[in-house]
């Protein structure tokens, strides 16, 4: 089997004005086609126009080549070899950042393709599936400024049947710690003891001092983790959150490759690596990251806030993960998030989502959605 083409499709919900921190109103779909008539499918949480240009780039020199030109004619089954070929062939312009996003999508598509060729799920290709249903957690954003608003907003998540909720810290939290404590305690009291709670501080704090006073509250309220406490470049700042009784997650804001994670694990001392697999370097780089994380005795919970392609990939990964971890389940109202694939991945009565059983990632694009959202 040989690769014949790499196709990039930009999809966009018309009229989206970028008014909130929600990247699921557009996506970049990649399909790797072969002469055997089967294709691999993936997406990346990145800029579709840039990804297309990186894939279609004319070769400039041996360290600055286009990904399509590097791949066409190659045997798609040697995924790790192709990953290295893409990485080395873009070393002058890639290495970190958006070129790694493009490599991520192609890598995932190659795994999907391999699954289809061998009639296996990606979970089976990655390891031994140990579980068929994953606990889903939804993000509640914005949380609200009063206890009443907190209860109302959390209900939006609970009404979907979710049994795990991630609340999002607001920039005003550090201005009034007492009020913020009230909001956090309200969240716990409202959901009861049984529902898993975590907090994402993605954009709330710019210095460790702003977040540290709330750590005892999170601990007392039994939060499962605190995510992205600081801007991702402030690695030393992350370390100041460590050892305070609540696991610290990090890296979800776009770290690329294991090299970036090593710094975050060693100098940043995070407890949970939260890679977005569609940005990190794909499933191939994820496997390497798993080794790095596991040998350090830390945890890995993938980030994912895009469409059901990403959800299907994360389900496949979590099904065979060395430890049981929850699935990030975007509650975005973007129609792309819900309708791009034929599969729907509903939350069941236990707050869980079943993994797809079809070969590869186990998802198919819905032609109607494709026609509706594709940008020429």
Partner 1 sequence: MIPIKEVEVLKLREPTEATSQEGDLDGALETVVVRLRDVEGREGIGECDAPPEAVEAFVNQVSAHQMSQNMAALLRGSDPIEIGALWRRLYDATQYPGRRGLGIHALSAIDIALHDLAGKQLGLPAFKLLGGALRPSLRPYATVFQGLPQGRSLQQMMDITAKMLGQALELGFEAVKLEVIFEDLADDRTLVACIEESRRLIGPDVDLMLDFGYRWRDWRQAAATLEKLDGLEIYFAEAALQHDDLHGHARLAERAPMRVCGAEHAATRWEIREWIEVGKVDVVQPDINRCGGLTEIRRIAEFCELAGVLCIPHGWKTGITAACGRHFQAACPAAPYFEYLAPELSRSALRRRLVKSDARVENGLMALPEGPGLGIALDPEAVQEFLV
Residues that bind partner 1 (CB under 8 A): 12, 16, 18, 20-23, 25-26, 45-47, 49-50, 52-54, 56-66, 69, 91-101, 203, 232-233, 253-254, 256, 259-260, 263
Q: What's the min distance (Å) between Cβ of 97 and partner 1? A: 2
What is the Cα–Cα distance from 294 to 289, expressed in whole angstroms?
8
Q: Which is nearer to partner 1, 72 or 221 (CB)?
A: 72
Q: What's the min distance (Å) between Cβ of 270 and partner 1? A: 17
Residue 302 makes CB contacts below 8 A (sequence gap 6+) with: 274, 275, 276, 277, 286, 314, 317, 318, 328
What is the Cα–Cα distance from 315 to 296, expressed in whole angstroms?
24
- The structure tokens 């939290």 sit at 173
Q: Which is nearer to partner 1, 50 or 221 (CB)?
A: 50
Q: What's the min distance (Å) between Cβ of 89 and partner 1? A: 10
What does each C-alpha distance from 293 to 255, 265, 298 come to in angstroms?
14, 8, 5
HSE, side-chain direction, 13 A CA sphere, residue 113: 30
Supply 177's token pair: 């710690």
Q: Which is nearer to partner 1, 26 or 343 (CB)?
A: 26
Q: What's the min distance (Å) between Cβ of 225 and partner 1? A: 21
HSE, side-chain direction, 13 A CA sphere, residue 256: 19
Q: What's the min distance (Å) between Cβ of 358 and partner 1? A: 30
Q: Which is nearer to partner 1, 25 or 83 (CB)?
A: 25
Q: What's the min distance (Å) between Cβ of 40 and partner 1? A: 22
Q: Which residues pair with 272 in a beta bridge?
A: 249, 299
What is the Cα–Cα distance from 68 to 5, expressed in whole angstroms?
7
HSE, side-chain direction, 13 A CA sphere, residue 310: 30
| φ, ψ for residue 249, nearest 5 deg | -105, 155
Q: Which is nearer to partner 1, 93 or 221 (CB)?
A: 93
What is the Cα–Cα distance from 242 to 137, expressed in whole angstroms?
23
Q: What's the min distance (Å) between Cβ of 275 and partner 1? A: 14
Q: What's the min distance (Å) between Cβ of 102 and partner 1? A: 9
Q: Which is nearer to partner 1, 203 or 244 (CB)?
A: 203
Interaxial angle between packed helices 282-295 and 257-266, expressed in degrees from 0 to 180 and rounded to the nearest 10 = 20
CB 138 within 8 A of CB 165: yes
Q: Which is nearer to partner 1, 26 or 181 (CB)?
A: 26
Q: Which is nearer to partner 1, 59 or 142 (CB)?
A: 59
Q: Are β-strands 248-250 and 226-227 bridged in parallel, bridged antiparallel, or unpaired? A: parallel
Q: What's the min distance (Å) between Cβ of 311 and partner 1? A: 19
Supply 236's token pair: 């030393």
Q: Which is nearer to partner 1, 263 or 324 (CB)?
A: 263
């Amino acid at each position: 089997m040989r690769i014949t083409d790499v196709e990039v499709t930009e999809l966009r919900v018309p009229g989206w004005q970028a008014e909130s921190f929600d990247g699921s109103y557009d996506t970049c779909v990649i399909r790797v086609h072969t002469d055997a008539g089967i294709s691999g499918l993936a997406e990346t949480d990145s800029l579709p126009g840039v990804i297309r240009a990186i894939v279609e780039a004319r070769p400039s020199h041996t360290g600055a080549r286009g990904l399509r030109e590097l791949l066409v004619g190659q045997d798609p089954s040697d995924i790790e070899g192709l990953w290295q070929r893409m990485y080395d062939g873009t070393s002058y312009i890639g290495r970190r950042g958006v070129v790694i996003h493009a490599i991520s999508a192609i890598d995932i598509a190659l795994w999907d393709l391999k699954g289809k060729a061998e009639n296996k799920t990606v979970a089976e290709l990655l390891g031994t599936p140990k579980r068929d249903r994953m606990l889903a957690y939804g993000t509640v954003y914005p949380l609200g400024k009063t206890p009443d608003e907190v209860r109302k907003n959390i209900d939006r998540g609970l009404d979907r049947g979710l049994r795990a909720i991630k609340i999002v810290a607001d920039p005003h939290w550090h201005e009034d710690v007492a009020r913020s404590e009230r909001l956090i305690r309200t969240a716990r009291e409202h959901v009861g003891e049984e529902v898993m709670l975590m907090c994402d501080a993605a954009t709330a704090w710019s210095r460790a001092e702003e977040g540290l006073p709330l750590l005892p509250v999170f601990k007392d309220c039994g939060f499962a983790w605190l995510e992205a406490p600081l801007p991702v470049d402030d690695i030393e700042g992350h370390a100041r959150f460590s050892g305070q009784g609540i696991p610290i997650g990090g890296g979800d804001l776009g770290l690329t490759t294991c090299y970036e994670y090593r710094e975050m694990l060693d100098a940043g001392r995070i407890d949970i690596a939260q890679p977005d697999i569609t940005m990190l370097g794909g499933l191939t780089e994820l496997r390497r990251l798993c080794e790095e994380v596991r040998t350090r005795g830390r945890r890995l919970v993938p980030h994912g806030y895009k469409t059901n392609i990403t959800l299907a990939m994360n389900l496949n990964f979590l099904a065979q993960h060395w430890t049981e971890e929850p699935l990030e389940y975007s509650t975005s109202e973007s129609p792309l998030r819900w309708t791009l694939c034929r599969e729907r991945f509903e939350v069941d009565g236990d707050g869980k989502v079943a993994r797809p059983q079809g070969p590869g990632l186990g998802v198919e694009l819905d032609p109607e959605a494709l026609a509706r959202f594709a940008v020429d």
